[in-house]
Amino acid sequence: MAIPYFNEMYQNDQVRPLYARLEDWTRAMPAELRQMKQAEAEALFRRIGITFAVYGEGGDPDRLIPFDMFPRVFTQTEWRKLERGIKQRARALNAFLLDVYGRGEIIRAGRIPARLVYQNEAYERAVAGFVPPRGVYSHIVGIDLVRTGPEDFFVLEDNCRTPSGVSYMLENREIMMRMFPALFRENRIEPVDGYPDLLRRTLASVAPAKCEGEPTVVILTPGHFNSAYYEHSFLADLMGVELVEGADLFVEAGFVWMRTTQGPRRVDVIYRRIDDAFLDPLCFRPDSMLGIAGLMDVYRSGGVSICSAPGAGVADDKAIYTYVPEMIRFYLGEEPVLQNVPTWQCGKSDDLKYVLENMTELVVKEVHGSGGYGMLVGPRATKAEIAAFRDRVAAKPGNYIAQPTLALSTTPTFVEQGIAPRHVDLRPYCLVGERIELVPGGLTRVALTEGSLVVNSSQGGGVKDTWVLAE
């Protein structure tokens, strides 16, 4: 491999102090024990039923996503920087949403092209002028990060709608603690189990003004056929709130009501795990069977809160992504803590020319694609694949962006032959309500295939427990 990848466990051939105890741990673990533990972990995942694909990735929904027992570790100092950068980004994205559904100052100032916002499919005209409680549109912001060096983190994409995978963050930790209690005595690891409580408080903090007393929060799921249904029920359980489907709710007299055995109960906050288009057949797709008729009228007249707010998706489009550093400067007057990956917009003729000429070195992605589909990793592609992709990009340039192939960091991972470096990314979950909160951790995805840079579970990716060491 020509590119020198940053292995997070080593620096100048020395084990970095934060991994020292883990090195001892693996040394003391014979192969048979490791295999036994791996089998135990899989059995645990199967038993709790966590087998879903990370949202939008496709693939077999019942396939178990491989769990790698080798934790990924951050120091307190590393985490503080990430935390600052993630919170900054979450604030800017929300400021942007409030702005584009309001006066559109950033567009008037010429910092973002009007077309990218107002002609974006995710821009909802129906909520223009509506200010959600506390001005928050995206209550759970999932920011996908990659690392290329000791100090170098890049944001790969933002997820402002309903980022999933947080149940993996919680379950990976739970299972590691159950299998290796000693590790958690030897290392001082920041806990992540406060997440459900923080999420519930965040959701309650954005209850509408008409709410009296303790807000009633529900999770709205499309149902058990959805690949992330496990996560919906898991979070409802841990938060102590009802998990509902569209048919469990109805609208009357300006409020949303939940059918219960004790009669209708008013609902104040809906954490929805269904897309805008399906929320309300009277406002969006008339053929939707998943939503609640009249919901948007209640929402827009202040009778209920919807998290994330309808229309939040306009901030996490791959074409808008390029402008997030600009948003941070414009709304917060700060310099971005976390860098964007340099991105070429194939819709711009200069960029397109560059991309077509340098395709062998670039990663080319569909603007609306996800899950590692509709994507070309130039250095790993065959000549035929590149030629075919070049035709697709040339035919519809506006649908594509390109980025340099990043030298994603690796972390030690258990593989058949023992331990080997594998490429990883990170998705932390930032909560935005009355306050902005971030539990110290996230979901680390790992590309289990040797040399692969694609961490998506549909393309052979796995997951790891992610540690932030206490000071």
Partner 1 sequence: MIVTVNHTTTYHYDAVMRGAVQSLRLFPSQFDGQKTLEWSVEVANGIRGGAFRDGAGDRVEGWSVRGPLSEVSVIVSGRVETKDLTGVLRGHREIVVPEAYLRETTPTRANVALADLARSAAAGGGNALERAHRLSEAIAGAIVYRPGVTHAHTTAAEALELGEGVCQDHAHALIACARVLDLPARYISGYLYATEDGSMHEAAHAWAEIFVEGLGWVGFDAANTCCSDERYIRLGSGFDAQDAAPIRGIAQGIGAETMDVTVALGATQQ
Report the interface residues with partner 1, using CB under 8 A. Answer: 101-104, 114-115, 118-119, 123, 125-130, 250-254, 281-283, 286, 293-294, 296-298, 300-303
Q: Is the dihedral of CA 240, 244, 248, 251 positive or negative?
A: positive
Nearer to partner 1, 188 or 259 (CB): 259
| Closer of 79 and 257 to partner 1 (Cβ) | 257
Q: Provide, rounded to whole angstroms, the least separation between the CB of residue 346 and partner 1.
A: 21
CB of 211 to partner 1, least distance (A): 14
Nearer to partner 1, 297 or 385 (CB): 297
Q: Which of 101/195 has CB closer to partner 1?
A: 101
- Choose among 202, 218, 106, 187: nearest CA to 468: 187
Which is nearer to partner 1, 107 or 386 (by Cβ)? 107
Give whole-number Cα distances, 106 to 19, 98, 117, 331, 342, in Å: 44, 11, 11, 8, 21
CB of 328 to partner 1, least distance (A): 23
Q: Which is nearer to partner 1, 280 or 465 (CB)?
A: 280
**Dist. CA 469–CA 471, nearest whole Å:** 6
Q: Yes or no: say if 140 and 163 are a contact pair by the CB < 8 Å rule.
A: yes
Evaluate whether 202 touches 437 at the Cβ level (below 8 Å): yes
Distance CA 78, CA 115 (A): 38
Cβ–Cβ < 8 Å for 92, 328: yes
Instruction: Map tokens 């402002």 to a residue.
Output: 160
* Smallest distance, partner 1 to C-beta of residue 250, A: 8
CB of 125 to partner 1, least distance (A): 5
3-state class of 75 per DSSP? Answer: coil
Residue 127 sits at the vertex; the CA angle it makes with 122 and 128, to the nearest 5 degrees, is 95
**Burial class, 335, CB count within 10 angstroms (exposed 0-12 / middle 13-18 / buried 19+):** exposed
Q: How far is the CB of 264 from partner 1 (least distance, A)?
A: 12
**Rounded-to-10 torsion of CA 265, 271, 277, 278:** -40
- Give the shortest CB-360-to-partner 1 separation in angstroms: 36
**Phi/psi of residue 437, nearest 5 degrees:** -125, 150
Q: Smaller CB distance to partner 1: residue 122 or 446?
A: 122
Closest approach of Cβ 159 to partner 1, in Å?
23
Q: State how far the Cα of 73 lies from the Cα of 452, in Å rounded to an integer.
A: 21
Q: Which is nearer to partner 1, 311 or 371 (CB)?
A: 311
CB-based contact 394:386 (threshold 8 Å): no
Nearer to partner 1, 103 or 188 (CB): 103
Q: 227: cis peptide before it, omega within 30°?
A: no
Nearer of residues 143 and 244 to partner 1, judged by Cβ: 244
CB 244 to partner 1: min, Å: 17
As a whole number of angstroms, the distance between CA 447 and CA 411 comes to: 10
**Cα 8 to the center of its chain, rounded Å:** 22
Q: How far apart are CB 237 and partner 1 at their closest, in Å?
A: 30
Structure tokens at 44: 């645990």
Radius of gyration of the chain measured on its C-alpha atoms:
22
Nearer to partner 1, 10 or 130 (CB): 130
Tokens 């307190």, residue located: 76
